[in-house]
Amino acid sequence: MPTKIQSITAQKIFNIRGEETIEIEVKTKNGFGRASAPSGASRGKGEVVPYPEGGVDQAMKRVKELVEPQLIGIDAQGQEKIDLMLHQIDGTQDFRKIGGNTSYAVSLATADAAASSMGRPLFTQLGGQLTSELPHPLGNVIGGGKHARGKAPDIQEFLVLPVKVNTFLDAAKANILIHQRVGAYLLKKDKTFTGGRGDEGAWAPNLKNEDALEIATKACEEVSDETGIKCKVGLDMAASSLWDPKKKCYIYPRDEVDRDSGEQLEFVLNIIQKYKLVYVEDPFHEEDFESFAELTKKAKKCLICGDDLFVTNKERFAYGIEKGVGNAIIIKGNQVGTLTDAWETTILGQKAEYVPVMSHRSGETTEAHIAHLAVAFRCPIIKAGVIEGARIAIINELVRIEKMLGERAKMATVPL
């Protein structure tokens, strides 16, 4: 059988922050797959445990001792079976024995090997021969919070999203133009700005939050007018990192403001209206389902997206759907440990008319698998940065996929 697994090996590599991570290689008779695990600067409490006690070194040992012996001889095309076996091998609810990053890398490398064995791209292997829609790129142009240092904005990401565009190539180009325009405005506003950037290649300026919003909005509007591509602004507030559970308020040190939950709701509603935001991610801390639901009711023509809130977890997400919490969800495979888990959460969202947003993490490696996952999972949006080595690898892979699809390629519809 050309897709039978012959070997699984683990090795240590580094992500863009220089942190250790695990890389898995899977060999079949006729193919080869490789995948690694990213890392997030802000992690939801509900995520699986990334590595067992002992870190990457211990995870590598457990691949050799526990994972490889069980998966040798299994058909790499049996993705659901393999992912179920990874759960059984680990035997815990949160992958603390082998590590969620380990299981995710094994799961993805196996899919990669199956695609290689059959001589087809990964997005076709996972999504089928009729898969043809490209996601809209959601890119970070100004970074603050945990993605920057010094006197950067409190809000973690100021994002841009082309919402009306004919090709992925044009969408990516528009995001790059906005990124460049923002940089030019930052130099005008602050003569001491040295062009510093955060983890994801976004500018990290000495600005307050609304000053950053003003610049991002102005650059976005100008590029929209110049190119004819309608682009809008969004935010990832990463509010769990602003929340002080003892004081019961959100602390904005750069703006020198503290806001309780009600004040946070009013603040978010105000900036959605003022700047015509189309996307707001994690505007409240990860346990505040009630405020999320209230914002979802009141915000018009804006995606209210849960990341730390849902952590790609079916149970948390199902609870959120029941309570009317948000209308979009971030999909990150290593938050739940396998491709099958991430796929099932995505399907759950699509059935409930939530928008799934395939997402990178701040501590990425240079692999571009999530480009294929976004297409295979039929995600209308991919959050993948704008300019930075690991982000450009993902963007360029989507450009290649678009070319590969040829006349069948079309941009997905973003319900805004």
What is d(CA 154, CA 210) in angstroms, rounded to the nearest whole number? 10
402 is catalytic: no
User: Is 71 in a helix, a strand, or coil?
Assistant: helix
**What token pair was written down for 342?**
């991430």
**Which is catalytic among the residues 23, 157, 200, 402?**
200
237 to each of 56, 157, 351, 387, how far by Cα in Å? 30, 7, 26, 20
Check: CB of residue 398 under 8 Å from CB of residue 168: yes
Say how many C-beta atoms besides its own lie within 10 A of residue 290's C-beta: 13
**Which is catalytic among the residues 332, 367, 397, 402?**
332
What number of CA atoms fall less than 13 Å from residue 197's CA on the CB side?
A: 17
What is d(CA 32, CA 41) in angstroms, rounded to the nearest whole number? 31
410 forms beta bridges with: 133
Domains of the chain: 5-119 (3.30.390.10), 133-411 (3.20.20.120)
User: Is 14 in a helix, a strand, or coil?
Assistant: strand
Check: CB of residue 51 under 8 Å from CB of residue 97: no
**What token pair was written down for 101?**
């990053």
Q: What is the pLDDT along the chain (416 residues), one digit of tens a residue?
A: 889 999 999 999 999 999 999 999 999 999 999 999 998 766 778 899 999 999 999 999 999 999 999 999 999 999 999 999 999 999 999 999 999 999 999 999 999 999 999 999 999 999 999 999 999 999 999 999 876 766 789 999 999 999 999 999 999 999 999 999 999 999 998 888 888 898 889 999 999 999 999 999 999 999 999 999 999 999 999 999 999 999 999 999 999 999 999 999 999 999 999 999 999 999 999 999 999 999 999 998 999 999 999 999 999 999 999 999 999 999 999 999 999 999 999 999 999 999 999 999 988 999 999 999 999 999 999 999 999 999 999 999 999 999 999 999 999 999 88
Check: CB of residue 201 under 8 Å from CB of residue 385: yes
332 is catalytic: yes
Q: Are strands 328-331 and 355-359 parallel, antiparallel or unpaired?
A: parallel
Buried b (16+ CB within 10 A) or exposed e, 174-204: bbbbbbebbbebbeeeeeebeeebbbbbbbb
Q: From 36, 129, 53, 131, select the one nearest 98 (Cα to Cα).
A: 53
